[in-house]
Amino acid sequence: MARSINQNAYSSALPNFRNLGILFRILVAVNVFAAAAALVKAGDARMLWEELLEISAVVQPLLIASLLALVVLNDILRRLPYAFGLAAVFALEMTLTAVLYGAGKSFHAAEFAALPRYWVLVALATAVLLFYFHLRGRALSPALSEARLQALQARIRPHFLFNSINAVLSLIRQDPRRAEAALEDMADLFRVFMADNRELAPLAREVELCRQYLELEQLRLGERLKVEWHVEKMPSDALIPPLVLQPLLENAVYHGIEPRVEPGVVSINIYRARDQVHAVLRNPYQQQGGHHAGNKMALANIRERLQLHFDAEASLTAKVGAQEYQVHIVIPYVKEARA
Amino acid sequence: MSESPLPLRVLIVDDEAPARDRMRDLLSDCGKELPLSLVGEAAGARAALDLLGRSAADVVLLDIRMPEMDGIELAQHLLKLEPPPAVVFTTAYDAYAIKAFEVHAVDYLLKPIRLARLKEALARVREAAPPGLETLREMQRAPRTHLSAQERGKVHLIPIEEVVYLKAELKYVTVRTPKREFLIEESLLRLEEEYAERFVRVHRNCLVARAAIRGFERDTVEEGETHWVVLLDGISDRIAVSRRQQHVVREISRG
């Protein structure tokens, strides 16, 4: 099953409980509830601390147990139809509450209220959170983000298109075979540019695409463009959003190579570090070359797409050095067809 | 209309080799109907001016986006040639420039270039005047990267970062670099506006490159009257700071 953000199309889905961003949101929300409850119960400032401790003693074990259970059961829960998934989450919470209630009661019996009261509170918190995730899912869901993603994708630089066509035209008479190869590369590139790129695709494919793209640029720029690949250690099967690296290389060529008279090196370094895939792209950079607005927009686009796919687990950082520009992308290592 | 017996002399300027190849092919296709002679090909502004210093051209086919110096700036320097060649701009895609060309009715060709369009443009070239300096200035997006001086039919490019000071003298401006001086026909006021960040006015007739200022010194002129002078990197010329511009000394010394 290919993982994508339009999974389950338009219908609602449970959030991915293995995503750090989701877990973090739950953690914060529940603690805010707890603090609010303490604030209501406490008569004065002195009491507030005690109330907070008391509530925490009840809330935190349940919270941690719930998160653990959700992480473990994530795949099963998310494979259920949404309604069953919801029911399962409620059932899970009720059960955990009952179990922890039983365990807690044997420690200090006196301080506990009746079980149904906890049930009601837990059910309420669960409902609020699930409703929040439902709304959030909507906001990021295909209905809205489809348009957004499409807008993000439709950013192939016309500059590149027309210059490439021109370069191919120049080859037709002198070197028809190279012209053929170049047109084949262009066809492949534009097939991807125009495809529905919402599904994640293997890293190897994106790298292949980047090679074809740079091949075309080399046609135009000749010796001025030098490319260094360091991808021997990359996890080829990692899944990434398509067209994340290619636009960055396009930037590197446009801002780093084209404004230079002397040859320049674009380097691509992709490797895996534990559960993360890192991609580091470097290109020469001179302070004076304008066009920053375009570059920032491209970066913002890619950042947004990474976020739509991976939430807080992916990052993109750009660094401007004295002579060099560097973009560093980190995404979680997700393989195809994982169980 | 009088048939011109002389072939039209054409120069191609483009930083991308395949684009030049393509243009050469198209020109040889045109040659069957339109007498043409290719003066040469240049990958950049400097090479173009070198070539034109040796052999004149009637028309320059000029790419807009090039490293070091863009086509719009080069067109301004080409105007210093006697007589200036006609210019036809070429571009693959540059929304901004295209809009400017439309506004100012400047001829341009879109890449990939069609043979018919190229023929049209070349046929018109003899009648059309080259785009005026004012027009090109208006289209210029950033300060020019070079100044240019005409000497004995050749146009010298002076990288702006080499300029130490600019001094107005009668109708000329002296451009001082560490190696030598050039005379250019421009207004100091205009240069001051164009390079507001790079140069500072120290005197009614003089702009000094901020980066070249090493310090200031008190100097005695006649009758014991003293004033400030600018000490410069790389050259021993001392530039007087006028009474009205004394505040510059304080501003720059403070950093």
What domains does chain A contain, in order, with CATH numbers?
Answer: 20-140 (no CATH), 154-332 (3.30.565.10)
Give pLDDT, residue A229: 97
DSSP for B96-108, written as a single string: HHHHHHHHHT--E
A51 touches chain B (CB under 8 A): no
pTM (2 decimals)?
0.75
What confidence score (pLDDT) does residue A256 get?
Answer: 92
Q: Quick check: B16 and A220 CB within 8 A?
A: yes
Q: Distance between CA atoms of B146 and B143, rounded to whole angstroms?
A: 9
> Taking residues B243-250, what's their average pLDDT?
87
Instruction: Give the residue from B12, B22, B93 showing the smallest Cα distance to A258.
Output: B93
The larger pLDDT score, comparing residue B243 to residue B15, is at B15
- Determine the 3-state secondary structure of A326 from DSSP: strand
B58 vs A: CB within 8 A: no
Q: Answer yes or no: do B142 and A290 touch at CB < 8 A.
A: yes
Check if the interface score ipTM surpasses 0.85.
Answer: no
Residues B62-82 have pLDDT tens digits of 999 999 899 999 999 999 998
- C-beta of residue A17 within 8 angstroms of C-beta of residue A129: no
Per-residue model confidence as pLDDT tens digits over B129-179:
777 888 888 888 889 999 999 988 889 999 999 999 999 988 899 999 999
In whole numbers, what is the pLDDT of chain B averaged over residues?
Answer: 89
Q: Flag if A170 and B68 touch (Cβ within 8 Å).
A: no
Tell me the domains of chain B and their CATH numbers: 8-139 (3.40.50.2300), 163-254 (2.40.50.1020)
Q: What integer pLDDT is reported at residue A339 of this predicted model?
A: 41
pLDDT at position A9 is 40
**How close A212 comes to chain B (CA, Å)?**
18
Task: Kindly tell me if the per-residue pLDDT of A174 is higher than 70.
Answer: yes
| Min distance B92 CA to chain A CA atoms (Å) | 5
Over 90: is that where the pLDDT of A116 sits? no
- Our CA angle for A97, A101, A104, nearest 5°, is 135
Calculate mean pLDDT across residues B87-95.
Answer: 89
**What pLDDT is attached to residue A75?**
86
CA–CA separation, B113 vs A163, rounded Å?
A: 11
Pairing of strands A315-320, A324-332: antiparallel
Please tell me the predicted confidence (pLDDT) of residue A216. 93
Lowest mean pLDDT among A4-8, B111-115, B204-208: A4-8
What is the reported pLDDT for A6? 41
In this complex, is the C-beta atom of B193 within 8 Å of any C-beta atom belonging to chain A?
no
Does B94 sit within 8 Å of A170, measured CB to CB? no
For chain A, helix (H) and strand (E) counts, in that order, are: 10, 7
A8 confidence band (pLDDT: 50, 70, 90): very low
- The amino acid sitting at B180 is R
pLDDT for A7 equals: 41
Q: How many CB atoms are located within 10 Å of the residue A50 CB?
A: 12
Q: B22, A166 in Cβ contact below 8 A?
A: yes
pLDDT of residue A19: 86
Give the distance from residue A224's alpha carbon to the nearest chain B alpha carbon, in angstroms.
Answer: 10
How confident is residue A253, by pLDDT bands cut at 50, 70 and 90?
A: very high
Q: Is B211 on the interface with A (CB under 8 A)?
A: no
Query: Do A258 and B65 lie within an 8 Å CB cutoff?
Result: yes
B19: which chain A residues are within 8 Å (Cβ-Cβ)?
A: 163, 166-167, 170, 220
Q: Please write the tens of the pLDDT for every residue from A256-280.
A: 999 998 999 999 999 999 999 999 9
Using CB atoms, pick whichever of B18, B68, B141 lies closest to residue A166: B18
**Residue range A298-326, pLDDT digits in tens:** 788 888 888 888 888 899 999 998 889 99
132-171 of B, contacting A, C-beta below 8 A: 141-142
Cα angle at A272 between A255 and A257, to 5 degrees?
Answer: 15
With H, G, I as helix, E, B as strand and everything else as coil, classify residue B233: coil
Which region among A139-153, A182-196, B22-36 has the lowest average model confidence (pLDDT)?
A139-153
- B13 backbone dihedrals φ, ψ, rounded to 5°: -125, 115
Percent of chain B with pLDDT over 90: 62
Cβ pair A163:B141 closer than 8 A: no
